Amino acid sequence: MKIISTAERPINLLQIIGGSIVGGMEIYVLRLLEHLPRDLFHVTCLCISESHFTSQLREMGCSVHLAPMTDETDWQSIQLGVGLIRADAIDVIHAHLPNAHLLAGMLSRLTETPALATIHGRYLSIRDLEVHKLMQTHISVVAKSAYFQALSLGIPASKLRFIANGVDTGIFRPTDKSAYLHSIIKGSPDAQLVGFIGRLAPEKGPDVFIKVASIVLKTLKNCHFVLVGDGPLREKLKDDIDNLGLNKYVHMVGLQSDMPQVYASLDLVVSTSYSEAMPLAIIEGMASGLPVISTNVGGVIDIVEVGRTGFLNNLNDLNGIADNVVTLMSDRSMRQAMGSAARKRAEKNFELSSSVNQTIDLLKSLTQTGFRSERGIEQR
């Protein structure tokens, strides 16, 4: 069994990342790597393509390599991965998304290097379960629902950890009201703003957000709705806004780099997703002192305290979501009370340093226990 002493050298960590959009998983990876102590970890990254994401990784000092990653891992990726592990003396592998987990599992077996896969969804996929069973990888999950699903499927607790997503509450915090978004949409600084933060993709339900806006605007006349993000539904959503005659009140501002200023511009965060694990946008909004209205999906139930930090609604309950928006946007004192409670809840339960420290401890522990075969026999 190989024992890594951080007094001798940093742990050599290989991050295998199966996506390239700037979504929740990629943000998780960036924040984790930003906070890994450089005296404890040296990071090599294996990604699927060049993108803004790989540029960000390089800016942080990570060594970045590229390889195709599909549901059927090819020989090129395996050869490159084995070569990286040997050349960089990799001590532990950390994978994100099922395609990356598959490659990590194969490399783990071929090189006898321990591998961890972080599951960013509300449940493990069949592929994640198959790879774990065959390759004996370790699993961490960000959603409690995924943790109990994994246990029910027979993944032993010794190979499973629940580490909730976290945000930096020093960066995302209540501040003076900002006109950042108001200037982008060319609106009055006094206008009330309701925000959707997320990828413009079907599973996030941005079209539902627009329909909710159309209902709310029948009652509230000085309320604007802002979609922050980009994705495949962008053009369709523009058409929806046009067809509903909402151009004056519903705005698409694309991706924004200064997210703390985005939240400081908003009065309320609304999530209309069909599927979530532990969405960072909701936690960031709460840490910024904003109440949240959301569909009750995945791990959201573990984030929002109903009636205290916000409201939850059933999927496609447009009128229910709209009623909640009208209630909060009509009552400033309620918004402020919920926002204050949301901030306290984020500080107590979803601080980034806690998530990072737990992940560091887990990665370090894998270098201490070494690679074990399917029969549990130590190999290094």
CA–CA dist 315, 234 (Å, integer): 22
Provide mean pLDDT across the span 159-164.
Answer: 97
pLDDT tens, residue by residue, 237-250:
999 999 999 999 99
Give mean pLDDT, residues 189-207: 96
Per the prediction, the chain carries an average pLDDT of: 93
pLDDT on residue 29:
96
- Examine the pLDDT at 370 and tell me if it is beyond 80: no
Convert the pLDDT of each residue in 235-281 to its tens digit: 999 999 999 999 999 999 999 999 999 999 999 999 999 999 999 99
User: pLDDT-derived band of residue 21, with 50, 70 and 90 as boundaries?
Assistant: confident
CB 200 within 8 A of CB 233: yes
Of 335-344, 348-357, 370-379, which gets the smallest average pLDDT? 370-379
What percentage of residues in the chain have a pLDDT greater than 90? 90
- Are the CB atoms for 292 and 138 separated by under 8 Å? no
Sequence-distant (6+) residues with CB within 8 A of 68 are 48, 74, 76, 77
Q: In Å, how far are 24, 80, 181, 263, 369 from 281, measured between CA atoms?
A: 9, 35, 16, 10, 36
Predicted local confidence at residue 222, as pLDDT: 86
Q: Report the distance separating Cα 307 and Cα 334, nearest Å.
A: 10
Q: For residue 107, which of 116, 180, 374, 244 has the smallest C-alpha distance?
A: 116
Residues 238/315/172/351 CA torsion (nearest 10 deg): -150
pLDDT tier, 316 (very low <50, low <70, confident <90, very high otherwise):
confident
Percent of the chain with pLDDT over 70: 95
Q: What structural domains and CATH numbers belong to the chain? A: 11-166+352-369 (3.40.50.2000), 180-349 (3.40.50.2000)
Cβ-count burial of 174 within 10 angstroms (0-12 exposed, 13-18 middle, 19+ buried)? middle
